[in-house]
Every structure is written in C-alpha cells, then in structure tokens.
Amino acid sequence: AVLYQRYEEDRDPNKFVTDQDQWEQTQIVKSQLKVGAQDRIKDDEDYSYIFDDQAIDFLDWDWKSNDKEDEIIARIDEAERKAKTIEETRKSLPIFAFREELLKAINEYQTIVIVGETGSGKTTQLPQYLCEAGYTKGGKKICCTQPRRVAAMSVAARVAEEMGVKLGYEVGYAIRFEDCTSDKTILKYMTDGTLLREFLSTPLLDDYSCLMIDEAHERTLHTDILFGLDIARVRPDLKLLISSATLDAQKFAEYFDAPIFNIPGKPYPVTVCYTKAPEANYISAAITTVMQLHISQKNGDILVFLTGQDEIEAVQESLQHTCRVLGSKIRELMVILATNIAETSITIDGVAFVIDPGFVKQNVYSPKTRMESLLVVPCSRASAVQRSGRAGRVGPGHCFRLYTQHAFHNELEDNTVPEIQRTNLGNVVLMLKSIGIHDVMRFEFMDPPHEQSLISALNDLYALGALNNNGELTKLGRRMAEFPLDPFLSKSVIWSEKYNCTEEVISIISMLTVQSSVFYRPKDKKFHADKARQNFTRPGGDHFTLLNVWEQWVDTNYSMNWCYENFVVYRSMSRARDVRDQLVGLCERAEVDLKSNPNPGDIVPVQKSIVSGFFMNAAKLSRFGESYQKAKYGEPGRTIHIHPSSSLFQVNPKWIVFYELVLTSKEYMRQVMEIKPEWLIEAAPYYYSQSELDNLEGKKKMPKNNKAAQKAAQS
C-alpha cells in the first residue's frame, strides 16, 4: 500500500521502464495479490495463496460475479467448433443481409452515409460488394481509406485472402512511403493521407469509380480535407460512401446532403463497472485488474486500451514477469494490449472483458505558442462507449472503466475534437494552396479550424519561404509540396542542395521518421545496450548519432546481424531505408540534386540545412539551470527540457533546435541538435531579428532607433 501511494504522486508512464520501477511495479501487483494472506507469504514461491477462496477485490470494483459466464463459454465454443469457411464467414456478417439493399441505395444516390457497429463488415465487405456489382468494369478502381496505416495493411491482407488473390495484385494497399499495388489492382485500401496526395497529382481521381471514406467518425485531418474538397461535385459519376461506426452520422448526412443507411447490429449487453474513487495511476490499476480478472474469471479474452507503444511494452513486460513468477499456478494469460486502434479500426473476436483507463495520446497544438505536442489526455465519452462495446461481440461482457462514474458523466468531453482543430496546419495550407485553393480561410471545412491556427500556418509558411507577400506559393513552396513531409522537413531537404549535403539530410530525415524505435533496450541487457548506443554518439547532437547509425548500417550492406549485435532495431532500419528510397525518388521529381557532403568532418552544412527548416523549434538554455525556453513565442515561465535519451542530455548547449516535444512528467524535446544563433537569422530573416536574439542572450545594448527591437524588448 505504501508503494502504491508513492505512485500516486507520479504519473510519468515512461517511468516504468527502469529496473527499479519495474521491480516496484511488480511489488504493487504482489502486494495486492496478497490481500488477506499478507503475513503468511514470504516470497515469490508462496503464490498459491492467490487461489484462496476469499475473493481478491484489489481495486474495489463494484463487481458482480459473472453469472452469464456459461453463456459466454457456450458462445466461444460454438464459434470455435464451427471453423467456418470463408464463404460462410462472409455470409454470417451483419452486413450480408443488407447486401442488395445497400447496392440499390448506392446505385440510386451518389453519396450515402453508412453506419454500423464495429465488426459488422463495412470495411471488408462493402468494397467487395462493389467489385461484385461491376463497379470496377472499364478499368476503374475502388478505393477505401483508413485513418491508420496498420488498418489499411491488415484489412487489405484479409480481403485478399477472402477473394483468394495474392496481396498486391487485385487487392492492394498504399500508405505513405509504401505502395503495395500493381496494374491489376482493382481494390485499393489506403490511408486518407495517401488519397489526398493522389488528389494532388490527379485532382479528378479519374482512376476510381467509388471512394469509401471509412472510419469517418474519427475526423482525422486528412478525412476532413477530403470532405471539404467536395470531389463528388466535380465527378458526377463517382460514388462516395462515408462510413462511420458511431451514431453521430446525422452531421455527415447534413454536410453531404445524403441519406443514412443503418446496419443494425446485435451486440450483447455489456456491464460497465467504475472505480469508486479516481485511480492515481492507470497503468498499475490496469495491470492489477488484468490479473484480478484472469484469476477470478474462467473464460474470455481481456482487451486493455493503452495510449502508445511505450505503455504497451511496459505493461506487457510487467504482466509477463508476474506470469513467470506465478508459473504453472495460473492458466496462460490471454490478453490484448492495444491503442485506440482497437476501438473501431480493427475487430478482435473473443473479447469478453474490456479495461478502459480512459486515456488517449493526442496531438495538441497551441496557436499561441505555436507548439505542437503529444499529450496523454482523457478520451471522449464517445470513445469510452466504443471501447466498452468491444466486450459485447461474442456474448455478454464486462467493461472496467478505471475512473469514476462521476468522471464519465462530468469530466469527459462528448466527442473527440476533430484533428483539424488541434494541429499545426502548415501542411494543410501548403496542400490546399498547391491544389489551387488560394483563399484557405474560406475553405468549407466541416468544422473549421481556429482562425488563429490558419493565420499562424500562413505566417510559418511565409517564414519558411513557401509563400510570398501575397500569400501565393513560391517556387520553393511548389517544390516543398511535392514531398509527403511536414513543411519544415521538406524545406530542409530542398535547402540542403545549397549546402551540397542532400544525401546526409535525407538520411537524417528518414531516421527521424523512425527515431523513437531505433535503439533496442532489453531489460536483461540494459548495460550492453546502453554501451552500444553510446558508441554511436557523435558530436553535434542526436541528428548526427542517427546519421552515424544509418551510415554504419549501409556499410554492412544492410545487415540484420549487425543490427542484433548493436542493439539496433532491424525493422525500424528497414523502414527508414524504405522512406529514404522514396525520398530519393521524390528529390529527383522535385529536381533536387543529390550531393554528398564533400567534407564529412565538417558538420556545419548539415546543421545549417536542418536549421533552415527547423528554426521555429529553436530553444535557448536558461541562464540558471538546465531548462530551455523557446526562442520565439515561448511563454515566460514555460520551460522545456532535453529528453534523457538525448546525447545532449546534461551537455546542455546554449542554443539548440529540436525535432519534437513530448509531454510526460515534463515537457521534453526529443532529437536535439546544437546550433549557433546567427544561423537562425540566416535561415529566417523575417522570423528572427538580431536584437531579439541579443535580448535572449542578455545583451543589453540596443540600437536606439530600432523600433522592432524596442518592441521585442518590451514584450
């Protein structure tokens, strides 16, 4: 109980990765497993006590014993006994009964909104029905968009299997930096971002006869822009299907002036349990609940909603450890740890218990400080309802919300705020401008972004040199739009040409796309892993460390063994390689000369190229201590810190630029590079002024008649 209290003061999920914390984490589970038998237990061996008959109500759930259990078992057995053929499975999905009606409605209307429970067959079946109904005659394709890469890939694989074809032939997928389609492809799953990029090169999307915008309720940035483009109006022959898993379809119907087609589902009832008091640490509460359910319930898989890879890995490790300790005394644990991808995008059969800590990792953008950061925030009520629904697919289920009923009703937002209202719009504006939509303030967004966000995006693009005084795309801006990258990345790529180091810069940028998963740090080999990582460190900052990893790997001819020996994740490296190959192609298209730094010992050209795009992420070391403040639009009192994983952690150079901000216990900058302040002015003379930087440096003297400088000093 004491340990538990300690954790109440500490919400940093990253903390679970240290040895000490891992140990403590296990102690928490242990101390709670031991309820009622405390003084009899001496060590790990004595876990047989957990089978003592008094129920272990660790989290004080308002838990009723599962009287529907037999029914659940019967359902699962039945499902397993009938190892159905693919054909039978397809026919058993709720959507099948509506096949003809759906096709009739699609024939009749240009646009329809389709609503149905997760798992009813929208994503896998509808596009197949369209193929079967002849919509791919005459060489046209059917496109189905997904907000997430993983969903696009896995659904395409499933549909290829159902159609009995090889993935990449008749059925394929396309995601950023990866195209798994061929001339034969008639059914293409892709991310919404990829469709948007196709729109850039072929604005009428002539290749397609039908577009299915799936998971529309997620309201991703790209889905919202696709909506606003109103493609159906310029292509009267195009069929547009908007599909959503939730019931807020009315809004789509009004926006598109389209009918709603409802696929009724038959979900089983789900009993929802809340904690009686708020949980201070949702990770440990989730772990405890998993063990509690596993021990007290006989059947049914457990699905836990976490916010990201770090949490999933920490929980996985902790659960595996507990299971090892308990050994044969408990059954094998079946538990699925997932992010909100399992809310609607991917259906997992067999789940009877859902554990919902009530959080999600989200991009949050502040137009005031012009900073974007990844935050773990409470999920919306709509998300919570979706999550609990996942427990009722095979039989009556239970959902455990790791928060109070009061919090559910009073503290959660109704719906997730659309991404467009919480992101940096630089990319969107660049994209709209290059499509030819000049007046972005008047673009018909379903939910318009904040005016201030659009204005900052326009200003940022101006500072980057992508727009001119009149807000028109410059030649540089046009070239930048060729790259499926954030504007500050594409600017760095293009600008590196001036410094003859494009090869190095695209290597760094490819590595930045996988940065969080390059280094492998297994629990039992931490010392060796850290040593291997240290050996990669290069002066100048993390960008050069990443570049070094990349170059060494290339020298081994992309060896898998080398990765294992050096605690580098092969999968991430392969992905960086794919990204890099694509960037090479894009550079050729945008006519960027691929030159290699003639003097690799001199890193300044590479640093200047990076600064040319990243100048907005410049920060200066505070006069006292180890914290930093943003060089521009920093809020007084709001400090940011170098992430402990950075090679510049505790080195604390005076001036730096960073790749991204992540908020855990503090606001951390990840992937940090040392710079000189004069490079900022060189890169962005309209963004920074000398006096402003002098001011930050604490240089008092200021030219008397420089109004801008005086103003900057006053504010």
Angle between helices 192-201 and 221-229 (to 10 degrees): 40
Cβ 630 vs Cβ 618: under 8 Å: yes
How far apart CA 306 and CA 320 sit, in angstroms, is 17
Least gap, CB of 228 to Mg ion (angstroms): 23
487 binds ligand CDP per the rule CB under 6 A: no
Site for ligand CDP in 343-382 (CB under 6 A): 347, 349
Is position 123 an interface residue for ligand CDP (rule: CB under 6 A)?
A: yes
For the CB of residue 210, give the shortest distance to ligand CDP in the complex, in Å: 16
| 125 versus 191: smaller Cβ distance to ligand CDP | 125
| Region of 122-130, 267-275, 483-491, 610-618 interacting with ligand CDP (CB under 6 A) | 122-130
Least Å distance, CB 11 to ligand CDP, is 33
Asked if residue 123 binds Mg ion (CB under 5 A), the reply is: yes
Query: Cβ 189 to ligand CDP, closest distance in Å?
Result: 11
Residues 432-451 that bind ligand CDP (CB under 6 A): none
| Neighbour tally for 480: CB within 10 Å | 30
Nearest approach in angstroms of CB 341 to ligand CDP is: 12
Pick from 34, 68, 140, 158: which binds ligand CDP (CB under 6 A)? 158
Q: How far is the CB of 158 from ligand CDP (least distance, A)?
A: 3
103-122 positions binding Mg ion, by CB under 5 A: 122
Q: Which amino acid is at 322?
A: T
Question: Is the Cβ of residue 122 or residue 235 nearer to Mg ion in the bound state?
Answer: 122
Alpha carbon of 662 to those of 23, 190, 599, 668, 676: distances in Å? Answer: 25, 28, 34, 5, 24
Compute the least distance from the CB of residue 352 to ligand CDP, in Å: 15
Q: How far is CA 29 from the centre of its chain?
A: 29
Task: Select the binding partner of residue 121 from ligand CDP, Mg ion, none (C-beta < 5 to 8 A, by kind).
Answer: ligand CDP
User: Residue 268 to residues 93, 235, 422: CA-CA distances in angstroms?
Assistant: 15, 42, 35
Does 386 participate in binding ligand CDP (rule CB under 6 A)? Answer: no
Residue 119 binds which entry of Mg ion, ligand CDP, none, CB below 5-8 Å type-dependent: ligand CDP
- The rounded radius of gyration (Å) of the Cα atoms in the chain is 27
Q: Is residue 148 close enough to count as binding ligand CDP by CB under 6 A?
A: no
Sheet holding 187-191, edge to edge: 178-180, 171-175, 187-191, 141-146, 208-213, 239-244, 111-116, 260-263
**Residues near Mg ion (CB under 5 A), total:** 2
Give the H or E element holding residue 668: strand 667-674
Q: Contact with ligand CDP (CB under 6 A): which of 25, 66, 124, 566?
A: 124
Cβ closest to Mg ion, residue 145 vs residue 515: 145
Among 122, 197, 533, 630, binds ligand CDP (CB under 6 A): 122
Least separation, in Å, of the C-beta of 118 and Mg ion? 6
Q: Which two tokens stand for residue 45?
A: 């061996």
Q: Which of 14, 110, 154, 695 binds ligand CDP (CB under 6 A)?
A: 154
- Give the length of the chain: 715
Please tell me whether residue 303 adopts helix, strand or coil conformation.
Answer: strand
Please give the distance of CA 281 from its chain centroid, rounded to a whole number. 22
CA–CA gap between residue 549 and residue 538 (Å, rounded): 10
Size, binding site for ligand CDP by CB under 6 A? 15
By beta-carbon proximity to ligand CDP, the closer residue of 342 and 568 is 342
Task: Please state the closest distance from residue 215 (CB atom) to ligand CDP, in A.
Answer: 8
- Quote the Cα angle for 127-227-236, to 5°: 65
Q: Which is nearer to ligand CDP, 116 or 358 (CB)?
A: 116
Q: Determine the 3-state secondary structure of 688 from DSSP.
A: coil
- As a 3-state breakdown, the chain gives helix, strand, coil percent values, each rounded to 5, of 50, 15, 35
Q: Does 217 bind ligand CDP (CB under 6 A)?
A: no
Spatial CB neighbours of 503, under 8 Å, sequence gap ≥ 6: 594, 595, 596, 597
Task: Give the torsion sign (CA, 341, 343, 344, 349).
Answer: positive
C-beta of 648: minimal distance to ligand CDP in Å?
42
Segment lying near ligand CDP (by CB under 6 A), choices 121-129, 196-204, 503-511, 649-657: 121-129
Nearer to ligand CDP, 122 or 401 (CB): 122
Helices 542-555, 570-589: crossing angle, 10 deg rounding: 100
Q: What is the DSSP string of 389-403?
A: HGGGSSSSEEEEESS
Cα gap 36→55, rounded to integer Å: 9
Question: What would the x/- binding string for ligand CDP be over residues 80 to 119, using CB under 6 A?
Answer: -------------x----------------------x-xx
Q: Which of ligand CDP, Mg ion, none binds 347 (CB below 5-8 Å, type-dependent)?
A: ligand CDP
Q: Which is nearer to ligand CDP, 303 or 642 (CB)?
A: 303
Binding site for ligand CDP (CB under 6 A): 93, 116, 118-125, 154-155, 158, 347, 349
Binding site for Mg ion (CB under 5 A): 122-123
